[in-house]
Structure 1
């Protein structure tokens, strides 16, 4: 392929833009905020699971406390009725004795229930504290996630803005070069991972960095200035200038 030496050198400008675009795309894909957000999402999910368990503990204790409160109330009502019957003073001696025994038993039962209720209320306070702590951690993680999302969005906007500026500069440059040369360049760039044209410096290919020797060096050195020369090793376009050292 033939191409004006100046057009070949301008390929390096095109290559510089494409390298920058490739770097910007890589930075966009590998932003630290992305990994941070993934980690925060897992943290929030784990905390929400922990919160469900803590909430179940509180609900279970509330249910048990309510049950005990009903039992205590039932015992109190029974004792009040028995006390009223005692106060009436019209019971036979045998029934009076039985009633006194029952009231003693009810008093003991009420005390046991109230102790159990108090113990459950203490456990409930501990469980509520655990639930409140989880809620605080969830709120903190969510705040951190929001702040990280904002940083990510700002970084993305800056990278996209720079990439758009580079694409805007690339269009006229590529359009001003011979179409066949650009097609070859784009094909090599796709096959070689992004680098298609490289400057020959000090007798080395700027693509694979290998030094040219013998017949290969002579091939490049003696090629016509408008000949598009490619590296035998990496197949990239070798752009020759006064710095090539041939």
Structure 2
């Protein structure tokens, strides 16, 4: 393939832009915020599961306390009725004695229920403390996640602006180059990531290998408008005064 030496040199400018775009794409993909957000998402999921578990425990205790309060109230109502009948003092002595015995039994039962209720309330207070602590951790982690997302979005916006700037310079540059040269360049770049490289001091700028003696002789003999490629990596080698041929 033939191409004006100046057009070949401009491939280096095009490659510089494409290298910058590749670096920006890599930066976009490998932002540390991506990994940090993934980690935070896992932590938030685990914390939310813990919050649900603790909340279920608090709800269970609330139901147990409500049921216990109902039992205590039933005992109190029953005791109040018995006390009223006993206060009237009418009826057989045996019946009054039975009422007195039942009141004593109800008093013991009420005491047991109130003790059990108090224990449940203490458990509930402890569980609520755990729930509040988990909720605080969730809030703090969500705030941290929001800050990381803000940083990520800001960096992505900067990358996007830089990519737009690079592409705006690439289009006219590529449009001015011969179509067959661009096609060859693009094909090589798609395969290797680098379409063209400077030949400097007898070394290919693509694979960084020194040219053999026979290769140097071949390139010295090649016309200036001949598009030459590296025998090792296949990239277009752009010859200049720095090539050392």
Q: Scaled by the length of structure 1, what TM-score is found?
A: 0.98
Question: How much does 1:202 deviate?
Answer: 1.2
Q: Distance in 2 between matches of 1:215 and 1:56?
A: 80
Question: How much does 1:237 deviate?
Answer: 0.4
Aligned to 1:4: 4
- Is 2:108 aligned against 1:79? no
- Give the secondary structure class of the aligned counterpart of 2:204: coil
User: Could you list the per-position Cα deviations for residues 62-82 of structure 1 after superposition, in whole angstroms to 9, with x for gaps in the alignment?
Assistant: 000000100000000111111
Aligned to 1:237: 236
Instruction: List alignment gaps of at least 5 residues for structure 1.
Output: none
- Give the secondary structure class of the aligned counterpart of 1:3: coil
Aligned to 2:214: 215
Instruction: List alignment gaps of at least 5 residues for structure 2.
Output: none
- Is 2:183 aligned against 1:163? no
Aligned to 1:48: 48
- Is 2:22 aligned against 1:22? yes
Q: Distance in 1 between matches of 2:46 and 2:220?
A: 65
Aligned to 2:132: 132
- Give the secondary structure class of the aligned counterpart of 2:197: strand
Matches within 5 A, 1:188-203: 188-192=188-192, 194-203=193-202
Aligned to 2:104: 104
Question: How much does 1:151 deviate?
Answer: 0.9
- Give the secondary structure class of the aligned counterpart of 1:239: strand
Aligned to 1:32: 32
Question: How much does 1:2 deviate?
Answer: 0.7
Q: Distance in 2 between matches of 1:182 and 1:8?
A: 10
Q: Distance in 2 between matches of 1:147 and 1:210?
A: 46
Q: Which structure 1 residue ranges, 4+ long, deviate > 6 Å from structure 2?
A: none
User: Could you list the per-position Cα deviations for residues 30-83 of structure 1 after superposition, in whole angstroms to 9, with x for gaps in the alignment?
Assistant: 111111111111111111111111110011000000001000000001111111
- Give the secondary structure class of the aligned counterpart of 1:22: helix
Q: Distance in 2 between matches of 1:221 and 1:147?
A: 59
Aligned to 2:122: 122
Question: How much does 1:139 deviate?
Answer: 1.1
- Give the secondary structure class of the aligned counterpart of 1:200: strand
Q: Scaled by the length of structure 2, what TM-score is found?
A: 0.98
Q: What CA RMSD, in Å, does the superposition of the two structures yield over aligned residues?
A: 0.8
How many residues get paired? 245
Aligned to 1:204: 203
- Give the secondary structure class of the aligned counterpart of 1:232: coil
Q: Distance in 1 between matches of 2:91 and 2:194?
A: 109
Aligned to 1:153: 153
Q: Distance in 1 between matches of 2:105 and 2:17?
A: 92
Q: Distance in 2 between matches of 1:234 and 1:55?
A: 63
